[in-house]
Structure 1
Amino acid sequence: MTNTLWGIHMKEINSLAPIQGGFIGIGWPDMGDLSVIPANREAFKARLQETHPHSKPGAIPVQAGVLFRFICEMAVGDVVIYPSKPDRMVNIGVVEGDYAYVPQVDPTYPHRRLVKWLKHIPRADFSQSALHEIGSAISLFQVTSHAEEFLAAMQGQSTGAEDVDEESVEEVSTQVEESTEDFIIKRLKSKLSDFEFEKFIAHLLTCMGYHARVTQKSADGGIDVIAHKDELGFEPPIIKVQCKQTLDTVGRPKVQELHGAVETGEHGLFVTLGSFSAEARTFERSKPNLRLIDSNDLISLIYSHYSQFDPRYQMLLPLKRTYIPGPSLTVAD
């Protein structure tokens, strides 16, 4: 079968309405009739910028791509995969109609195509990696990696996913974890100034049980935060913290510079959004009063103390506790 397989999400509509009505649809009602727009991506981007002037520049090409694919690339005979969340079903059908603009039917989802739904299959019948593919954040996308699995299901054949593939589960779990970690680092990099990042680290240390304060920007001597256990800061150990809001690799010279500012009885802490070179790590191991915190360590600390964060930092990093598949354990474990 050479027809394209499409995945689609319709989050702002009654999830069962497309099944009952035999259609698929997308939003962007302000765009008007898409059929009058010249059939090229640049024209769709221009129209989107005109109707949505406050959209982020990076979102325009993605959204325009969805609209363009829906009207210009999708064709009668193509296969559509629509996961409906309330009943946890994967609905598979075939496109039967050309693009239609029907704002009188539903002003929220006025761009539609008729679909003949063929199969309604429980999500549990598919592999975890296949479910991950159709969980794309984009409204309309091509399904390629697991096309054979979905086609087999549409034809009533076994998908081969009755037994959960351990490697598949591990892959999906890793992808979820990495996506969350990327999100955290990007937010800390793009939403905070250097000084605000220092205040964030001071707040994290406060959540860990320390009294922490940010030094004066004009004369910090390379020390950005000072932390201590007692309220007045007289009792040892005193922790001098340097914060680097960089994604680059921090080398040994910068680490040595921090350690040079650490006096007897004090400790040094270097925090970065990036990583440390092998030479820097070797230097750390030779200094018992020095600790290096890279992006992975920082994320672990954020997870451990997130519940204690002030609301402003929970808004900066909007996370929720959830469960994802983990490695199987044996009785011996």
Structure 2
Amino acid sequence: MAAWVIRAGRAGERDRWCLANGYAGGGFHEVADLGRATTREAVRTEVERGFPSAKPARHINFTGQLHALRNRIAISDLVVLPLKTSGQIALGRVTGGYEYLANEADPTRRHVVRVNWQRTDVPRNAIRQDLLYSLGAFLTICEISRNDGGWRLEQVLKAGIDPGARPRPGTNPTTPREQEQDPSDQTAEAIDLAQAAWDQIRIFVGEKYSGHALARLVAAILTAEGYVCEVASEGPDGGVDIVAGRGPLGLDAPKIVVQVKSQTTQVGIEVVNQLLGGRARLHADQALLVAWGGITKPARAQAESQRFILRVWDAEALLSAMLRVYAQLPEEIHSEIPLKQMWVLVEQVGED
């Protein structure tokens, strides 16, 4: 069985639709129904008709992706969907081959395969960096075969965490294997540099600020946002790690209580309830749960029911907050997390 990344739009515009309806795919709306295109050559003919003015390299690239969707992806193959809308990863099994949804009103939702989505909230920090690079290719459809990726994603589907590549006799397990698919598919050459950099920052911060140290980073972010913060000492905290408020003494509204959980696994509803109890006990206006590894579905439902009182930051939200105020953070944080903003030219090779 193979493992495939199949994206759902540059901004994740098909994320929810794919998960709700049991599909993967879309994009390439310029290309007609591929139902009869049972060979690569036939797929290329339809691609050239759909993109008559495109350069040959683009025809080759799009042909490789659509040939995979039409003819190579098989029943029981594993599908990975990096969710742009949540920053998490969904995993599922292919249950039906290529379909062209001619009656679908949105033309970007027509080229699909059927998928049984089995996990929809795997945090990115459950995946090791080398495999994240493979998941970060720009292409809409991409086979994952480097670094023992297929087997590792199977383990993520089963247990929710990437165990890393298995040692191979006579090889260095950290050395990527060559891509096993047709090189003309160009499926592993163009990496999303922004996502790769983001993943690198997330891994670095997660390792640097494990345990109680993460509360110090959160307090620095809130201080840069104009709050006066008091951080509890390490140890039992009654569900509250940080108390923050506006004004010179930190006594003005909104008054916030913060619970910080640095573990890479999801935290449950009991943590949410404990924080809500701490908010009531301290007569705070709002509560912030920082859960580096995210929260479970029951916890998310509880948080949603308290949406005007409680906010949740996972690793993605925390990093967004940090980058928003990075220039205002103290020099101590700058020395611990040295970042430099730069512009790069990005080649767009996918077709979302």
Normalization by structure 1: what TM-score?
A: 0.47
Bigger Rg, structure 1 or 2: 1
Normalization by structure 2: what TM-score?
A: 0.44
Q: Of the two structures, which has the highest relative contact order with CA contacts closer than 8 Å and spacing of 6 or more?
A: 2
